[in-house]
Amino acid sequence: MKKILLATAALSLMAGAVLAQDKTKACFVYVGPIGDGGWTYQHHQGLMAVEAEFGDKVETAYQENVPEGADAERVLTQMALSGCDIIFTTSFGYMDATNAVAAKFPDVKFEHATGFKRDTPNVSTYNARFYEGRAVMGTIAGRMTKSNKIGYIGSFPIPEVIQGINASFIHAKKVNSDVTISVVWAYTWFDPAKEADAAKALIEQGVDVILAHTDSTAPLAEAAKTPGVIGFGQASDMEAYKPSPRVSSIIDNWAPYYIERVGAVIDGTWAQKDTWAGISGGEVLIGEITEAVPAEVKAEAEALAASIADGSYHPFTGPLNKQDGTPWLAEGVVANDGELAGLNFYVEGITGDIPK
């Protein structure tokens, strides 16, 4: 124990030495390459927005392709040592590494995306309510499907993806009681060719609206080959596939949050918090709904987005039952955030099992 304390003291001494600089240094750890065109690309857009907003007052640094685990801990330590004032760790798997390093550098602020652990006061967590966007896409899907079959391509069965499947289905069902959803798990974070095959398999099963939780344009390109099949942009706008098959999109927009938090460090007002913003905070953007969607459906989708944004409606509002028919939320009751964050069951009406 004593040895650990000594090491901690040495580390914090080093961290103290760099406080004298006047520029604020914001650092980012990415799980993939910027060129992934999806998750990491959107975080990097946030970094560039920070640079554009604060100009000379900030300095930025980033590291791509950082594996979770031991490598993350080393990269974070290195960043903290080299004078970063605030470090954004942009993947769930960095959770334990972020908290471990934060404990050694009390003067450096850490921001962990999509996690829930805040062991020390210098760790904040943030996430985006992507399911709000899914609710809007689900509405469009329910109205647009002619076969009454919509498809969802998932990566791994983690709570965020399950939120997305449930939110899409609930809102498709709300506008079209005949709708069913088929889920295909790719069991990989990244394999564009497999996404194309998954989309094709869904189309063969009669699905005519495809929602994807994976970030490549492969499902859209596959949809483009079959007339009448539509899909949505995911992570980025994917405007190359406008006006159809891409009829709208969910865009990850981290810029407002990054600007706010870096600004707080500059002002000296940074404090620990847990942020889970959505459409209202501008973190989840709904991409342009194209002319391929009838005007009344577009209006309906936009109205839903607006009601979510102003807080008058929550996508998980009862009455909702779990898949097995047992009640989950009573009439008018809204799911609480803790429950949503760890969501691990389907709502009633979805067939198939979540892989365990």
Partner 1 sequence: MMEFCGINPAVLVASLMVASVPILLAAIGELVVEKSGVLNLGVEGMMIMGAICGFITAVSTGSPLLGFLGGAAGGAVLSLMFAFLTQVLLANQVATGLALTLFGLGLSSLMGQGYNGIKPPLTEALNFGPLSDIPVLGRILFSHDWVVYASVAIIAAVWAVLKYTRTGLILRAVGENHDAAHALGYKVGLVRLLAILFGGALAGMGGAYLSLVRVPQWTDGITAGAGWIALAIVVFASWKPWRVLIGGYLFGGISVLQLNLQACGSRIPVEYLSMSPYLITILVLVIMSSGRGRAALNAPASLGQSFHASR
Partner 2 sequence: MVTLEKRPSPSRFWSAATPVVAVALTMLAGGVMFALLGKNPAEAIRTIFWDPLFGEFAWYLRGQLLVKAGPLILIAIGLSLGFRAGIWNIGAEGQYIMGAIFGASVGLAVFPTDNRLIFPAMIIAGAFGGWLWGMIPAILKTRFNTNEILVSLMLVYVAEKILSKAALGFLRNPEGAGFPGSRNFNSYPAAANPELIAGTGMHWGVVMAFIAVIFAYILLQRHILGFQIKLAGQAPRAARFHGVNPQRMVVLCLGISGACAGLAGVFEVTGPAGQISIDFNVGYGFTAIIVAFLGRLNPVGILLAGLLMALTYIGGEMASTNLGLPAAAIQAFQGMLLFFLLAVDVMTNYRIRLFTKGAA
CB-based burial label for 157 (10 Å; 0-12, 13-18, 19+) = middle
Report if residue 185 touches partner 1, rule: CB under 8 A: yes
| Residue 156 binding partner 2, by CB under 8 A | yes
158 contacts partner 2 (rule: CB under 8 A): yes
Residue 16 is a binding residue for partner 2 (CB under 8 A): no
Which range touches partner 1 (CB under 8 A), out of 126-134, 255-263, 333-341, 347-355? Answer: 347-355
Q: Which stretch binds partner 1 (CB under 8 A): 12-20, 86-94, 188-196, 299-307?
A: 188-196
Of 140 and 202, which CB lies nearer to partner 1 in the complex structure?
Answer: 202
Residue 308 vs 347, nearer CB to partner 1: 347
In the list 51, 96, 197, 288, the residue contacting partner 2 (rule: CB under 8 A) is 96
List of residues 6+ apart from 70 with CB closer than 8 A: none
Q: Is 131 one of the binding residues for partner 2 (CB under 8 A)?
A: no
CA distance 259 to 305: 24
Among residues 80, 25, 77, the alpha carbon closest in space to that of 51 is found at 25
Residue 126: in which H helix or E strand, if any?
strand 123-128
Question: What is the size of the binding site for partner 1 (CB under 8 A)?
Answer: 43
List the one residue from 12, 45, 51, 100 that touches partner 2 (CB under 8 A): 100
230 counts as binding partner 1 under rule CB under 8 A = no
Whether residue 315 contacts residue 324, with contact meaning beta carbons closer than 8 Å, is answered with no
Sole window of 46-54, 192-200, 260-268, 313-321 interacting with partner 1 (rule: CB under 8 A): 192-200
92 binds partner 2 (CB under 8 A): yes
Taking CB under 8 A as the criterion, the residue among 65, 177, 205, 351 binding partner 2 is 65
- What whole-number distance in Å separates Cα of residue 209 and Cα of residue 103? 47
> Which of the choices partner 1, partner 2, none does residue 68 contact, using the CB cut-off of 5 to 8 A by kind?
partner 2
Between CA 316 and CA 165 the distance in angstroms is: 12
Q: Are 215 and 194 in contact (CB under 8 A)?
A: no
Ranges within 99-158 binding partner 1 (CB under 8 A)? 151
Two tokens, residue 69: 């685990």
8 A C-beta contact, residue 62 and residue 47 = yes
Residue placing its CB nearer to partner 2 in the complex, 170 or 340: 340
Peptide bond into 319 cis (omega under 30): yes
